[in-house]
Amino acid sequence: MFTKAFALDTAIRVLRTFAQTLIAALGLDSMDAIHAPWPQALAVAGGAAIMALLTALAGVPTGPAGAKKTT
């Protein structure tokens, strides 16, 4: 879980999710960057980034290698 590859993959996933959500939250008709709803868009994108991070952490296998899953 705490390997360099996991950290890099997770960081890329979180940044990609943040950017995609920010673009979606701003909308295509908000082409005026000065009057765009930045606080709301950043809040939504930040929440999505946190969820991406938690999803990555939840997907990490726990227990000894090769152990059978109980769920």
14 vs 37: which has the higher pLDDT: 14
The 10s digit of each residue's pLDDT in 19-51 is: 999 999 988 666 777 788 889 999 999 999 999
44 is written with which tokens? Answer: 């939504």
pTM of the complete model:
0.78
Per-residue pLDDT band for 16 (boundaries 50, 70, 90) equals: very high
DSSP 8-state code for residue 28: T
In the chain, where the domains are located? 4-27+36-58
**CA atoms within 13 Å, Cβ hemisphere of 70:** 2
Residue 1 has pLDDT above 70, yes or no: no
The Cα–Cα gap between 66 and 32 comes to 54
